[in-house]
């Protein structure tokens, strides 16, 4: 009898430990996938629900083209002149962080080029070929909207350049990841994995193994490699294969080069891996863009400037350049024909 | 050519050849039918004993005779089994054609280094490829077929070796009666 | 005249054949063939189908009708109302772990079948 009870207890305890709750939802204009391991179902669902609500709020509050979002209101005031307006503490914090990162990237990460992004038709839910208006593009480049044009005084902000239009597309998902991680830790969750539109941050482990992440192949369905994500690490990829349109056989992706106003050419995807830090999520979103926009010989310098040791680049020809430490962590599923280690 | 009987046979050479082919083909058909009746270890995989006859004929006579025996076997067997022009027939014919092609290419390999085992293995592989082509592009275009290819090729290897060894044995029991130029 | 010693050519051929068959196993058996397809609409599982039965599935999503086709052990987005047609361009999926998604219409396809090689996909 005791034997039976023991077995029963063992089985029950095993059940509890292996519980993985996974929820997929369409939030933030993309697919969000949150997994919590080792908590009761009710608690998992409660925490996930809370986080998804946070994401909804962020999505609406900082929406780049819905006119009633806090961000749009700020953009409208930038356009109107130099009158400072009140902004939320959260937005103040985001802008301050974005300014620092923009400077760090020598302006390659530039969320102030919302007007350029809109000209290319990427401020919509769906993308189609647009009439390329070179004159308009050149004017916007010449007016050179920069994050440094934004002045933050206390709880107010204004811009010295009316051409500044904020689009936090390359930043917000990362910010949300950091927010989600903080919330999970606050709720006492030990093991979770949060995936917002492909950007992922990890907490704890998946049972007795680290969380394992697949990296999408830029041109084939399925993943080209897998990598373990230890607790607190974040991974992000910028690619030309999801948000783009094709015109006359040429691909125009959503990553615009602020220096010439045109979508970046020459790169298919950049993946960056960041160690634990309060801004691991933000960096996993932001840091891939400057590397995406850089020439191949500049990439190591740019990566270093952004504080990135682990990166992987797939160029237009499908050749792969990878940093030495990333190479050690990565496990190829579809080995590329050409691999260069930087 | 010293035997009087042999001279008589040579006088009516054509007929003797026809008889020979007929006898050999009948033997091959018999083996094929026997295999058709016996259960096979894996669906679609058979030891292919009739191929021993084809090989034997190739060694003791010539390629043309072997081709005749082989193709007669395919057609006659399918008629007898009632599956003429069916998928089974297509498989059988495709396999036979490709394995004959393999034999044609390898028939002059030096006997010093290569015995019937080599020819049998290569012909068996060719036979399997011929069948897999029909399967993959006509009968079962399922991508799962890829999963079966290594299994079938392994079977072809095993049976190819076995049949080759059996052929060697038969050849040793029936040393050449006429002079054949086989390199 | 029966020679009991195997001939060199035979040994060579059999050896090469063994290597070839080994190579076939290695290259054709390393990825498990997927057996089941899971279709999601929004965040709910819409249906789970076996890949072994040819089928056409029409799903009404927020922006229109998406058509999914299962044939010959593979699956693809045949048509979808999205403008960039990225889902359709993904082509045929056949191996476990492969996935395709139509974000605008919130339809996703995922091939199940054995252990997943990773927990989540970065893209």
What was the pLDDT predicted at B109? Answer: 86
At B2, the pLDDT band (50, 70, 90 cuts) reads low
Class of domain A67-170 (CATH, top level) = mainly alpha
Sign of CA dihedral A241, A246, A251, A256: negative
**Domain residue ranges in chain A:** 19-60+172-341, 67-170
| Residue A15 scores a pLDDT above 50 | no
Question: Which among A74, A103, A253, A231 is positioned nearest to A164, based on CA atoms?
Answer: A74
- Any idea what the CATH number is for the domain that residue C53 is in? 2.60.320.10
At C114, the pLDDT band (50, 70, 90 cuts) reads low
Specify the 3-state DSSP secondary structure of A246: strand
| Residue B15 scores a pLDDT above 80 | no
| Residue A16 scores a pLDDT above 50 | no
Q: Are C99 and C117 in contact, with CB atoms under 8 Å apart?
A: no
Distance from C-alpha of A81 to C-alpha of A230, rounded to nearest angstrom: 47
Mean of the per-residue pLDDT values of chain A: 91
A82: distance to nearest CA of chain C, Å? 38
**pLDDT for A287-340, tens place per residue?**
999 999 999 899 999 999 999 999 999 999 999 999 999 999 999 988 898 999
Distance from C-alpha of C36 to C-alpha of C110, rounded to nearest angstrom: 8
Its pTM stands at: 0.71
What was the pLDDT predicted at A171? Answer: 95
With respect to residue C17, please indicate whether it lies within any of the assigned structural domains.
Answer: no
Distance from C-alpha of A167 to C-alpha of A63, rounded to nearest angstrom: 8
User: pLDDT: is C39 or B23 the higher one?
Assistant: C39
Report whether CATH 1.20.1560.10 matches the domain A19-60+172-341.
Answer: no
- What lies within 8 Å, CB to CB, of A237 at 6+ separation is A198, A199, A215, A216, A269, A270, A271, A272, A288, C122, C123
What was the pLDDT predicted at A93? Answer: 95
What was the pLDDT predicted at A13? Answer: 47
For C101, the closest chain A residue by CA position comes to A31
* Optimal mutation site among A193, A200, A214, interface C, most CBs of chain C within 10 A: A214
Specify the 3-state DSSP secondary structure of B147: helix
Sign of CA dihedral B112, B114, B116, B119: negative
Distance from C-alpha of A169 to C-alpha of A195, rounded to nearest angstrom: 16
What was the pLDDT predicted at A191? Answer: 96
**pLDDT for B53-104, tens place per residue?**
999 999 988 899 899 999 999 999 889 888 888 888 888 899 999 999 999 9
What was the pLDDT predicted at B103? Answer: 93
**pLDDT for A118-140, tens place per residue?**
999 998 877 788 888 999 999 99
Count of residues in chain A? 342
Instruction: Say which DSSP state A113 is in.
Output: B
A134: distance to nearest CA of chain C, Å? 23
Q: Are A214 and C120 in contact, with CB atoms under 8 Å apart?
A: yes
What was the pLDDT predicted at A285? Answer: 96
With respect to residue C21, please indicate whether it lies within any of the assigned structural domains.
Answer: no
User: pLDDT: is A31 or A17 the higher one?
Assistant: A31
pLDDT over 70, % of chain B: 86
Specify the 3-state DSSP secondary structure of C49: strand
Interchain proximity A24–C40, CB inside 8 Å? yes
- A199 token code pair: 């950007």
Torsion angles phi and psi, residue A270, rounded to 5:
-130, 130
For C3, the closest chain B residue by CA position comes to B172
**pLDDT for C73-95, tens place per residue?**
889 999 999 887 888 988 898 87
Sign of CA dihedral A172, A178, A179, A180: positive
| Helix ranges, chain A (H) | 2-17, 41-61, 70-80, 89-104, 114-119, 134-143, 172-186, 280-286, 288-293, 299-305, 324-329
- B21 token code pair: 């082919």
Interchain proximity C97–A198, CB inside 8 Å? no
In chain B, the largest separation of any two C-alpha atoms, in whole Å, equals 62
Burial B67-103 (b: 16+ CB within 10 A, else e): bbbbbbbbbbbbeebebeeeeebbbbbbbbbbbbebb
Chains B and A touch (3+ CB pairs under 8 A): no
Phi-psi region for residue B14, left (φ > 0), alpha (ψ -120 to 50) or beta?
alpha
Q: Are C58 and C42 in contact, with CB atoms under 8 Å apart?
A: no
With respect to residue C57, please indicate whether it lies within any of the assigned structural domains.
Answer: yes
Torsion angles phi and psi, residue C99, rounded to 5:
-145, 155
Hey, which chains touch B, using 3+ CB pairs under 8 Å?
A: C
With respect to residue C12, please indicate whether it lies within any of the assigned structural domains.
Answer: no
Place of tokens 């500049």: A298
Question: Which among A262, A265, A271, A65 is positioned nearest to A172, based on CA atoms?
Answer: A65
With respect to residue C54, please indicate whether it lies within any of the assigned structural domains.
Answer: yes
- A150 token code pair: 């934004």
C122: distance to nearest CA of chain A, Å? 4
**pLDDT for A153-177, tens place per residue?**
999 999 999 999 999 998 999 999 9
What ipTM was estimated for this complex? 0.89
Q: Are A193 and A203 in contact, with CB atoms under 8 Å apart?
A: yes
| Residue B182 scores a pLDDT above 50 | no
Interchain proximity B110–C9, CB inside 8 Å? yes
**pLDDT for A245-294, tens place per residue?**
888 888 999 999 999 999 999 899 999 999 999 999 999 999 999 999 99
Distance from C-alpha of A170 to C-alpha of A181, rounded to nearest angstrom: 19
| Residue B157 scores a pLDDT above 70 | yes
Chain C interface includes B14 (CB < 8 A)? no
| Topology match between the domains A19-60+172-341 and A67-170 | no
Question: Which among A331, A279, A283 is positioned nearest to A309, based on CA atoms?
Answer: A283
With respect to residue C88, please indicate whether it lies within any of the assigned structural domains.
Answer: yes
Using a CB-CB distance cutoff of 8 angstroms, which residues of chain B are in contact with residue C29?
Answer: 147, 150
**Any idea which of A267-276, B168-177, C109-118 has the lowest mean pLDDT?**
C109-118
**pLDDT for A49-90, tens place per residue?**
999 999 999 999 999 999 999 999 999 999 998 899 999 999
Task: Give the DSSP per-residue string, C68-99.
Answer: EEEETTEEEEEE-S-SS-HHHHT--B-BTT-E
Chain C interface includes B28 (CB < 8 A)? no
Interchain proximity C120–A195, CB inside 8 Å? yes
At CB < 8 Å, which residues of chain C contact A? 40, 42-43, 82-84, 86, 90-91, 93, 95, 97-101, 103-104, 106, 108, 117-123
What was the pLDDT predicted at B181? Answer: 44
**Domain residue ranges in chain B:** 4-173
- What lies within 8 Å, CB to CB, of A271 at 6+ separation is A215, A235, A236, A237, A288, A311, A312, A313, C122
Specify the 3-state DSSP secondary structure of A29: coil
Question: Which among C78, C71, C73, C116 is positioned nearest to C100, based on CA atoms?
Answer: C78
Specify the 3-state DSSP secondary structure of A237: strand
Q: Are C41 and C103 in contact, with CB atoms under 8 Å apart?
A: no
Contact residues, C window 61-120, toward B, CB-based 8 Å cutoff: 72-74, 94
Question: Which among B70, B44, B39 is positioned nearest to B136, based on CA atoms?
Answer: B44
Specify the 3-state DSSP secondary structure of A273: strand
Q: What is the mean pLDDT of residues A32-58?
A: 94
Contact residues, B window 148-177, toward C, CB-based 8 Å cutoff: 149-150, 153-154, 157, 160-161, 164, 169, 172, 175
At C1, the pLDDT band (50, 70, 90 cuts) reads very low
| Residue C32 scores a pLDDT above 70 | no
Place of tokens 């999505």: A59
Taking the domain B4-173, which CATH number applies?
1.10.1760.20
Q: What is the mean pLDDT of residues B157-164?
A: 93
Interchain proximity A223–C97, CB inside 8 Å? yes
**pLDDT for A284-299, tens place per residue?**
999 999 999 999 899 9
Q: Are B121 and B157 in contact, with CB atoms under 8 Å apart?
A: yes
Q: Are A184 and A204 in contact, with CB atoms under 8 Å apart?
A: no
Q: Are A202 and C120 in contact, with CB atoms under 8 Å apart?
A: no
Domain that holds residue C49: 36-112
Number of domains chain C contains: 1
User: pLDDT: is B68 or A28 the higher one?
Assistant: B68
What was the pLDDT predicted at B4? Answer: 56
* DSSP bridge partners of A84: none
pLDDT over 90, % of chain A: 79
Mean of the per-residue pLDDT values of chain B: 83
**pLDDT for A230-248, tens place per residue?**
999 999 999 998 888 888 8
């Amino acid at each position: 009898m005791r034997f039976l009870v023991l077995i029963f207890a063992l089985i029950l305890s095993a059940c509890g430990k292996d519980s993985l709750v996974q929820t997929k939802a369409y939030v933030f204009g993309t697919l969000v996938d949150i997994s919590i391991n080792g908590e009761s179902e009710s608690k998992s669902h409660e925490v996930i629900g809370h986080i998804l609500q946070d994401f909804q709020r962020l999505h609406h509050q900082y929406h780049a083209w819905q006119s009633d979002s806090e961000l749009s209101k700020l953009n409208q005031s930038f356009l109107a002149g130099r009158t400072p307006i009140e902004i939320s503490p959260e937005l103040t914090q985001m802008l301050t962080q974005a300014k620092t990162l923009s400077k760090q990237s020598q302006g390659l990460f530039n969320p102030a080029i919302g007007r350029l992004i809109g000209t290319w038709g990427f401020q919509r839910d769906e993308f189609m070929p647009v009439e390329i208006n070179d004159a308009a593009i050149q004017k916007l480049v010449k007016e050179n909207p920069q994050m440094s044009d934004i002045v933050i005084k206390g709880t107010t902000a204004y811009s010295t350049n009316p051409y500044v239009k904020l689009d936090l597309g390359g930043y917000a998902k990362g910010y949300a990841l950091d927010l989600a991680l903080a919330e999970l830790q606050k709720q006492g969750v030990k093991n979770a994995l949060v995936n917002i539109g492909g950007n992922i941050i990890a907490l704890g482990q998946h049972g007795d193994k680290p969380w394992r992440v697949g990296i999408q192949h830029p041109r084939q369905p399925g993943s080209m490699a897998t990598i373990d994500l230890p607790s607190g690490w974040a991974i992000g990829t910028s690619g030309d294969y999801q948000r783009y349109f094709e015109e006359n056989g040429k691909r125009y992706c959503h990553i615009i080069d602020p220096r010439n106003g045109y979508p970046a050419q020459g790169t298919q995807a950049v993946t960056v891996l960041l160690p634990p830090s309060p801004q691991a999520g933000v960096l996993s979103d932001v840091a891939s863009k400057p590397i995406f926009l850089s020439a191949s010989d500049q990439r190591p310098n740019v990566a270093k400037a952004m504080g990135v040791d682990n990166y992987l680049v797939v160029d237009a020809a499908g050749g792969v350049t990878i940093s030495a430490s990333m190479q050690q962590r990565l496990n190829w599923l579809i080995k590329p024909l050409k691999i260069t280690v930087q | 050519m010293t035997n009087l009987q042999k001279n008589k046979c040579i006088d009516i050479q054509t007929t003797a050849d026809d008889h020979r082919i007929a006898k050999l083909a009948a033997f091959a058909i018999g083996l094929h039918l026997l295999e058709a009746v016996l259960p096979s270890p894996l669906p679609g995989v058979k030891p292919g004993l009739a191929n021993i006859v084809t090989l034997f004929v190739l060694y003791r006579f010539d390629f043309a005779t072997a081709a005749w025996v082989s193709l007669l076997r395919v057609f006659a067997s399918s008629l007898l089994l009632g599956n003429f022009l069916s998928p089974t027939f297509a498989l059988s014919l495709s396999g036979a054609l490709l394995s004959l092609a393999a034999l044609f290419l390898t028939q002059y390999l030096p006997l010093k280094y290569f015995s019937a085992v080599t020819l049998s293995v290569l012909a068996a592989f060719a036979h399997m490829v011929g069948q897999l082509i029909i399967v993959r592009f006509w009968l079962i275009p399922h991508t799962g077929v890829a999963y079966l290819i290594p299994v079938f090729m392994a079977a072809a290897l095993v049976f190819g070796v076995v049949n080759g060894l059996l052929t060697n044995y038969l050849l040793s029991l029936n040393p050449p009666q006429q002079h054949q130029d086989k390199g | 005249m029966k020679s009991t010693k195997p001939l060199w050519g035979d040994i060579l051929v059999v050896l090469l054949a063994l290597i070839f068959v080994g190579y076939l196993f290695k290259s054709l058996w390393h990825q498990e063939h997927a057996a089941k397809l899971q279709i999601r609409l929004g965040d709910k599982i819409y249906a789970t189908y076996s890949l072994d039965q040819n089928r056409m599935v029409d799903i009404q999503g927020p922006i229109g009708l998406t058509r999914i086709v299962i044939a010959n052990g593979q699956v693809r987005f045949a048509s979808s109302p999205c403008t960039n047609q990225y889902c359709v361009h993904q082509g045929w999926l056949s191996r476990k772990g492969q996935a395709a998604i139509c974000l605008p219409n919130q339809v996703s396809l995922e091939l199940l079948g054995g252990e997943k090689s990773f927990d989540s996909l970065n893209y």
